[in-house]
Amino acid sequence: MNDLATSRRVQTLPRSGIREIMDAALARVDVVRLDIGDPDFPTPEHIVAAAAQAAADGFTHYGPSRGLASLRAAIAEKVVRTNGIACTPDNVVVTTGGSGAIFVCFLTLLDPGDEVLIPDPGWPNYLGMASAVGARVVRYPLDPAREFEPDLDELEGRIGSRTRVLVINSPANPTGAVLTADTLQVLGRIAERHGLWLVSDECYDGLVLDGEHVSAASVVESHRLLTVFSFSKTYAMTGWRIGYVIAPPELARVLATAQEPVVSCPSTVAQKAAEAALAGPVEPAEAMRLAYRRRRDAGLAVLDAAQVGYMRPRGAFYLFVDVASARMPSREFARRLLDAGVAVVPGSAFGERGEGWVRVSLAASENDVCTGLGRLAQSLAAPTHIPPT
């Protein structure tokens, strides 16, 4: 491989197990796609129209590296109003999606050899980003017996002298868990006690299905807390690539400087689209959230009828389904289920603790969700009847 003379860091970047199943699914016809974490709804019309107008108005050039002042002001207002976080535009850095936000946080906070605590199971891209900045990933377990809340003693036991960053994610991918104010406060105290930066990934904050989203920064007082948000999921805007970080002003300035050489600035026309998302009617986003909730309830009814275990998701748009009774690695189960015409993501793609589970996306029609889960239940009832790959 080294004849291509690529860096060792790039050669060792972990590949996402989500992509692996997506590629396999793409190669087939007639597959019910429950693997994708991308809303099946179009971006609401008023947002698309505002972007077209902005392009016509000349928002087609470089902008400030920390984002357009008008968007930062709108974001600050949203964060105060919706998330209960004290915020001014000086706290806001606009980024290329939540991904760009998390990457720039890692780039800013982690030196090579430093350790970052990542939930297990958790979003696989955290690993690639940590590895890209030369940091070492230490996983901390989420406890299936407690609705995938972090095991706080285990977490604290994994903090060492090189640990710098604790990543938390609520609502969570892949489990759909939503952290309570109490748990967030304990996590805040652990971070404070050990002098860690807390990076709170709240990219699904607009997709809480039961109860309310609690932002870590609304219940934890700390100057070492960074919150990451995204327009991708709430507004079906995954392709526009706009997210943001809320951080103390002095740190926000550093984050903006850090992203400058990588992206120059986030896409200007997409930022105008994001502005329209915040200023426009709330009904389109609310209709999507309610649709995910209906699909969740319909999907859970299928699993209940078949007596298949699951984690009841309170947020995001995934069902985490217990497939331990198949008595095979979840990757193998997902491969076989693909042969039965359903694409889901093996839990092992999210870490060792995801083994025995699969992630089912609710970003598909209710009919597809129910058909796919029906086939999954059949496969569990008679695993040997699925043709081997």
Q: Could you list the residues that contact ligand PLP (CB under 6 A)?
A: 37, 97-99, 123, 169, 173, 201, 203, 230, 232, 238, 243
Output the smallest distance, CB 5 to ligand PLP, in A: 30
Residue 101 CB, nearest approach to ligand PLP (Å)? 7
Written in H, E and C, the secondary structure of 206-223 is CCECCCCCCCHHHHCCCC
Partners of 345 in the β-ladder: 359
Q: Which residues of 234-244 are buried (b: 16+ CB within 10 A; e: fewer)?
A: bbbbbebbbbb
In angstroms and rounded to an integer, the radius of gyration of the C-alpha atoms of the chain is 21
Asked whether 125 and 116 are in contact (CB, 8 A), the reply is no
> Shortest gap between Cβ of 326 and ligand PLP (angstroms)?
25
Our CB check for ligand PLP shows the closer of 123 and 140 to be 123
Q: Taking the complex as a whole, how short is the minimal distance between the CB of residue 179 and ligand PLP, in angstroms?
A: 13
Are 379 and 337 spatial neighbours (Cβ–Cβ below 8 Å)?
yes
- Give kind and range of the element (H or E) at residue 108: helix 97-109
Pick the closer one to ligand PLP by CB: 308 or 319.
Answer: 319
Instruction: Give, rounded to a whole angstrom, the gap between the first and last alpha carbons of the chain.
Output: 29
* CB closer to ligand PLP, 118 vs 155: 118
Compute the least distance from the CB of residue 71 to ligand PLP, in Å: 15
Query: Between 83 and 379, whose beta carbon lies closer to ligand PLP?
Result: 83
Question: Minimal distance in Å, beta carbon 318 to ligand PLP?
Answer: 9
Taking the C-alpha atoms of residue 186 and residue 168, their distance in angstroms, rounded to an integer, is: 12
CA distances from 114 to 93, 111, 223, 231, 363 (A): 24, 5, 20, 30, 36
* CA–CA separation, 277 and 273 (whole Å): 6
Question: If DSSP codes are grouped into helix, strand and coil, which group holds residue 119?
Answer: strand
In whole angstroms, the minimum distance from the beta carbon of 374 to ligand PLP comes to 26
**Closest distance of CB 281 from ligand PLP, Å:** 22
Q: In sequence order, what DSSP letters do the residues of 135-180 get, joined into one string?
A: PEEEEEEEEGGGTTEE-HHHHHHT--TTEEEEEEESSPTTT-----
Least distance from ligand PLP to the Cβ atom of residue 364, Å: 15
Do 106 and 236 touch, CB atoms closer than 8 A? Answer: no
Q: Which of 350, 339, 346 has its CA nearest to residue 378?
A: 339
Q: How would you classify the pairing of strands 357-361 and 345-346?
A: antiparallel
